[in-house]
Structure 1
Amino acid sequence: MTEQDKTAAPAIDASVAILEVLSAASWPLQLSEICDRTGLAQASAHRIVNAMLHHRLIALAPGRRKTYVLGSRLFQLSSAIYARQPFVPHFYPIAEILKNEIHRSIFLSLPVGNQVVILARLDAPASQTFSAYVGRTMPMHLSASGKAILAARPLEDQLSYLRDEGLAAPGVAAELPALASDLQRSARLGYAISLNEIQQDVGCVAAPVVNGRGEPVAAISACFTGEALTVQSARVYSKNVVQAARQLSSHIL
């Protein structure tokens, strides 16, 4: 855990760190392994692990003595959030058509605070592997989906986002003109693009999904791997992506 990750609530910081190492692990972890990966003292980790067990945030791995995995309450909470997104069932048939039109993997992302979270994905046949999994989060200004959502919001909300993310701070503000221009362009055209978004040689084109009041509530994006996506080539695919976003918007009140 870095100093930047620490807050005034050390127990919560430690709990989050434990959840992160367990979610990243390929197998159940012993307490000593959790301590090694989080930097927590054994006594502190033992106390916090017991509290997390009580609240079902983590669980003992079946058949393996004193090893830990993610708990059932996490799945319960995530399922509840997922169930509250009424447009998810409508996404898949629309994404299937879009995938067949442009032969690219299609994603549905949701804004949560100042981040966007990948909520669903539909892979194109023979698509290259890249690290865009369901549940992945990114700052809004660093992803095509986030920029599409941000650009569809009122200017006041955009400025609030920039302040909250520290992008208007001295030493960082030099990047603001390019970002502002990008958001203006996205608002004008109805779609956003990003280059090298998730990893090198991965570009995305995204369009906002809006509710009946015209407020952006999600974004549909198409990702391109193994090729150089440019502003010019993005235009070829943008019509299909925007149309898919409009179709999904029609299902939202």
Structure 2
Amino acid sequence: MKNKPAYAIASVDAALLLASLLQQEGAMRVTDVAARLGVSVSTAHRLLGMLVYRDFAEQLPDRRYTAGPVLGRGGLRPAPVTRLREAAVPHLRHLVDTVGETANAMVLAGSDVRFVATVESPQVLRVGDRTGRTLPAHLSSGGKAVLATMDAEQLAAHLEPLGATGAARLQRELRTVRRRRFAVNDQATEPGLVAVGVAVPAAGGVTGAALSLAAPAARFSRDLAASWGSALAGAADAVARDLSAAG
């Protein structure tokens, strides 16, 4: 599993996470930043000041901060990502309470999935926060769950870069995902990490989203996959209902 470095620099970690949040979720107030990072308002202000200095952020006329020229404001559309996160987090918390493993929300971004929210397991040995990170869609559990919902034309763009052998392998796996209604990532992206994912039904202007449960491989068995898939499916439907109601 990919965990924090032994000698992690907290301020650097906070600044990098903040840059990701500004790019993914759009403009934020200083108080919003402080709440999201769990830091004081003065610390949030200093972090934003450094990002502005290095062109990773810029201040708007209404005093909010947004992604700067270095980040290009590319990638995901901020409004749907913010709505997805707000709708998903309560259900991620319920999943963690029920299953005891780390729960994530993610959204398709090109050929990758980008994690937009994580609620960590309370267990000492656990999968950590993945917010802001990306994984190849064809390898991750949530990515495969989203790909399995696509029609042939949409899927073709994701199959082409994999070559004939890789495309055939993925198509076989997606048939299994459609039959089971959940996808599994068994250490394909990180040694020692297993995840189960399901797609979130399109709702409220949010498409290409997924939820996942992730755990150390030592604590996972194939017998758990179906029950995790069922719990995730219930959460995904609830997220879609909340998105529809908010939209």
- Give the TM-score category using the shorter length: 0.5 to 0.7
In 2, Cα distance between the equivalents of 1:213 and 1:91?
Answer: 13
For the Cα contact (< 8 Å) 2:183–2:197, is it kept in 1? yes
State the partner residue of 1:223: 214
Does 2:86 correspond to 1:89? yes
Does 2:137 correspond to 1:152? no
In 2, Cα distance between the equivalents of 1:216 and 1:71?
Answer: 27
Q: Which amino acid aligns with 1:154?
A: D
Does 2:45 correspond to 1:71? no
Alpha-carbon distance change, 87 to 93 in structure 1, aligned in 2, over 3 angstroms: same
C-alpha deviation, 1:234, in angstroms: 0.9
- For residue 174 of structure 2, the aligned residue among 174, 183, 193 is 183
For the Cα contact (< 8 Å) 1:149–1:216, is it kept in 2? no
In 1, Cα distance between the equivalents of 2:148 and 2:165?
Answer: 19
Cα distance per residue 1:169-195 (max 9 Å; x no partner):
xxxx22333321111111222211111
For the Cα contact (< 8 Å) 1:148–1:208, is it kept in 2? yes
Alpha-carbon distance change, 117 to 237 in structure 1, aligned in 2, over 3 angstroms: same
**What does 1:101-250 correspond to in 2, within 5 Å?**
101-130=98-127, 133-163=130-160, 166-168=161-163, 173-212=164-203, 216-227=207-218, 229-250=220-241
For the residue of structure 1 that corresponds to 2:208, the secondary structure is: strand
Unaligned 5+ residue runs, structure 1?
1-23, 29-58, 63-67
For the residue of structure 2 that corresponds to 1:121, the secondary structure is: strand
State the partner residue of 1:13: none
* % same residue: 20
State the partner residue of 1:6: none
More divergent stretch after superposition (124-133 vs 141-150): 124-133
For the residue of structure 2 that corresponds to 1:167, the secondary structure is: helix
C-alpha deviation, 1:212, in angstroms: 4.3
In 2, Cα distance between the equivalents of 1:192 and 1:91?
Answer: 19
In 2, Cα distance between the equivalents of 1:160 and 1:102?
Answer: 35
C-alpha deviation, 1:159, in angstroms: 1.8
Cα distance per residue 1:97-136 (max 9 Å; x no partner):
1111100100000111111000000011025354652111
In 1, Cα distance between the equivalents of 2:204 and 2:77?
Answer: 22
In 1, Cα distance between the equivalents of 2:233 and 2:205?
Answer: 15
In 2, Cα distance between the equivalents of 1:26 and 1:93?
Answer: 26
Q: Cα RMSD between the aligned structures?
A: 3.4
For the residue of structure 2 that corresponds to 1:107, the secondary structure is: strand
In 2, Cα distance between the equivalents of 1:93 and 1:213?
Answer: 17
C-alpha deviation, 1:71, in angstroms: 2.7
Looking at CA atoms only, which structure, 1 or 2, has the larger radius of gyration?
A: 1
For the residue of structure 2 that corresponds to 1:194, the secondary structure is: strand
For the residue of structure 1 that corresponds to 2:162, the secondary structure is: coil
More divergent stretch after superposition (227-236 vs 238-247): 227-236
C-alpha deviation, 1:81, in angstroms: 4.5
Alpha-carbon distance change, 159 to 132 in structure 1, aligned in 2, over 3 angstroms: farther
* TM-score (normalised: structure 2): 0.65
For the residue of structure 2 that corresponds to 1:199, the secondary structure is: coil
